Structure 1
Amino acid sequence: MSMTIRQLKYFVAAAELGQVSQAAIHLSISQSAVTTAIRELETLLGVNLFVRSTQGVTLTDRGRHFLNHAYQVLRSVDEALNIPHTDEDAMGSVRLAATYTAQGYLLPYHLQRLRQWYPNISIDLYEFERTEIEDKLLDGSIDMAIVLTDNLIESEIVSEKLFSSERRLWMPSHHHLSQKKTLALEDVEKEPFIMLTVDEADVSAMRYWSLKSLQPNVILRTSSVESVRSMVANGLGVAILSDLVYRPWSLEGRRIETRSLDDVVYPMSVGLAWKRGKTFTQAMHAIRGYFQQVYLTPQQNMVRSTVV
């Protein structure tokens, strides 16, 4: 039996989420498929990668060591499958802005690939809050922006959603809420709550809290994702944040678990924005085409394969 990419993906998902059931939900497959793949991997390696308990799975020392190798293999496979098609004919410059979340958790990887794809396109990059981005798009100071599209207000701003990132409950390891079979906002309401404020995350959060006429028990409002991560990991509270900014470990090395809620919790939508009626340059078309190919084409292919 040889090692497969499928086994590595399932192993990484279980390692990051801390529960086989959550890994299965994240991967949109059966729980038994994840369990089987991990067992096959452990048999092949001749070691236990996880310690199993009623609360979930925890990496062994060998498991933590293997996780680093799994990341490297999956990263290499991703790069091999996405070999850049260098286009030296596309030329020009683009003034591209991004909000904090897009800048920190999305753009660096794509900027490196854009440089490979379009070596003759120059990207002038800026980071602004959403309101300033809208103002600068309208007055022509910037050409395009990557934003949280649900936060846009100005009617003269056109947006194109690229993907949605699910928002889930963040909890410290072995939190009592992880034992509940169903989990709703009512269960979270009395818990100490860490409210992220950057990129209007607090405004977005209150949209779904207000739907249930509930108020979170906020003990801290902070613009720092790392502060939220550390507070949750150290058992000081819980949070509801998107998968885009999720990492399973805090800076102190403590684990954070996630859990989907049964209530309507709107996902975070990320996309491109520009001024209505903006004349696209060759460089702007290239940037937009890149993001469409990366995010929208795979979704369209998935829909087609499902229909067929």
Structure 2
Amino acid sequence: MELRHLRYFVAVAEEKSFNKAAARLYISQPPLSRQIKQLEEEIGVTLIDRENRPLKLTEAGEFFYDHAIQILKKSDDLRAMTIRKGSFDHSLSIGFVSSILYGILPKVIARFREVYPNIEIKLYELNSWQQTQGLVDGKIDVGFGRLLFEDASIRRMVLREESLVVAVPINHPLAKEGRTSVRLMDLTNENLLLYPTAPRPSFIDYVLELFEARNLKANYFTEVRELHIALGLVAAGEGLTIVPKTLEHLRSQEVIYIPFEDGLLTSPIVMSIRHFDKSDLLKTLLDVTYQIYDAEGFDYKRENI
């Protein structure tokens, strides 16, 4: 059984017709029919009920189809990742979420350029979910995000946990009271401005899960397109938002940033790479990140590539 057999079968299963599948595959119909018949004979099971019009998969065929598309996707992903790996010596493509760009990422990139001045660096603003797909399809080589997703082809390293703070307008009661900390409970009836709206899942879902994990509910929240819009609306007195601590210098004349009680609410900074990718470029990027962490006095748990 070869990959082409799987591609032929998937085409027939999805088109529900040998003729349409043959046209999709740019081959003639008789050879396609013979290939599918050989596949069934090799497996010893009938996969397609040919008595139906349109064609219908047998129960075994449905099972085979579900697994065939997974195998084909992994094959395509492997091809894309390998092609990207072949050009890895000349450029490094980095995906990032915007909140990390306003943290230490620029310093990391600047230090990396000192070590590899001839490596072209390409930056892509992608949320954590998009970074996963970007790694798989070869668009990026490494991602810096804030959400953890399970994917067998991707390795995720939590570099550190960053404290979250609440951004409030300077004339908000929480600001006027001179509060040195707040609890998540204090925000349940506030209008929260959560971002980004798409694609999902995103930081919105992470914040809402913080409430749910404590048996709380954000009773009033508005979804906004991105971080800067949320902070702009906070400055205009339209509500509050939750951001990582490294962003508390933004709009500092109009917005007050209040930490959470005991600093218990955090957001992970996650570095994602393709599994088993042990490139010297990635090792250097990770080392440089830890050098910046040391210089900034951040707590972190060291990982190795």
Amino acid in structure 1 at the alignment position of 2:266:
P
Q: After the TM superposition, which residues 23-38 of structure 1 pair with which residues of structure 2 at under 5 Å, given as runs?
A: none
Residue number in structure 2 paired with 1:190 = 189
Once residues 292 and 282 of structure 2 are traced to their aligned partners in structure 1, the CA distance between those partners, rounded to angstroms, is 16
Alignment partner for residue 209 of structure 2, among 200, 207, 210?
A: 207
Correspondence 1:288 to 2:290: no
- Per-residue CA distance 1:213-251 (angstroms, 9 max, x = gap): 22223352112222221222222211222112223526x
Greater mean alpha carbon deviation, residues 108-117 or residues 237-246:
108-117
Q: After the TM superposition, which residues 1-308 of structure 1 pair with which residues of structure 2 at under 5 Å, given as runs?
A: 92-103=90-101, 105-148=103-146, 150-178=147-175, 179=177, 183-197=182-196, 200-249=202-251, 254-262=253-261, 266-278=265-277, 280-295=278-293
Once residues 113 and 181 of structure 1 are traced to their aligned partners in structure 2, the CA distance between those partners, rounded to angstroms, is 35
After superposition, the Cα gap between the structure-2 partners of 1:236 and 1:297, relative to the gap in structure 1 and judged at 3 Å, is closer
Aligned pair count reads 208
Amino acid in structure 1 at the alignment position of 2:241:
A
RMSD (CA atoms) = 3.2
Once residues 298 and 248 of structure 2 are traced to their aligned partners in structure 1, the CA distance between those partners, rounded to angstroms, is 26
- Per-residue CA distance 1:116-135 (angstroms, 9 max, x = gap): 23213222333323223212
Deviation at residue 302 of structure 1 after TM alignment: 9.9
Residue number in structure 1 paired with 2:31 = none
After superposition, the Cα gap between the structure-2 partners of 1:167 and 1:133, relative to the gap in structure 1 and judged at 3 Å, is same
Once residues 300 and 129 of structure 2 are traced to their aligned partners in structure 1, the CA distance between those partners, rounded to angstroms, is 35
Task: Indicate conservation of the 8 Å contact 1:97/1:133, yes or no.
Answer: yes
TM-score, normalised to structure 1, is 0.57
Once residues 107 and 264 of structure 1 are traced to their aligned partners in structure 2, the CA distance between those partners, rounded to angstroms, is 23
After superposition, the Cα gap between the structure-2 partners of 1:290 and 1:109, relative to the gap in structure 1 and judged at 3 Å, is closer
Residue number in structure 1 paired with 2:85 = none
- Per-residue CA distance 1:22-56 (angstroms, 9 max, x = gap): xxxxxxxxxxxxxxxxxxxxxxxxxxxxxxxxxxx
Amino acid in structure 2 at the alignment position of 1:112:
A
- Per-residue CA distance 1:161-201 (angstroms, 9 max, x = gap): 33332111221114222426773223221122212226811
SS of structure 2 residue aligned to 1:284: helix
Deviation at residue 202 of structure 1 after TM alignment: 0.8
TM-score, normalised to structure 2, is 0.58
Task: Indicate conservation of the 8 Å contact 1:160/1:273, yes or no.
Answer: yes
| Structure 1 alignment gaps of length 5 or more | 1-90, 304-308
| Structure 2 alignment gaps of length 5 or more | 1-88
Amino acid in structure 1 at the alignment position of 2:206:
S
- Per-residue CA distance 1:61-103 (angstroms, 9 max, x = gap): xxxxxxxxxxxxxxxxxxxxxxxxxxxxxx7432322233334
SS of structure 1 residue aligned to 2:261: coil
Once residues 219 and 292 of structure 1 are traced to their aligned partners in structure 2, the CA distance between those partners, rounded to angstroms, is 36
- Identical aligned residues as a percent: 18
Once residues 98 and 299 of structure 2 are traced to their aligned partners in structure 1, the CA distance between those partners, rounded to angstroms, is 30
SS of structure 2 residue aligned to 1:137: helix
SS of structure 2 residue aligned to 1:153: coil
- Per-residue CA distance 1:249-287 (angstroms, 9 max, x = gap): 26xxx5211222338853122132112222x23323222
Once residues 300 and 137 of structure 2 are traced to their aligned partners in structure 1, the CA distance between those partners, rounded to angstroms, is 38
SS of structure 1 residue aligned to 2:215: coil
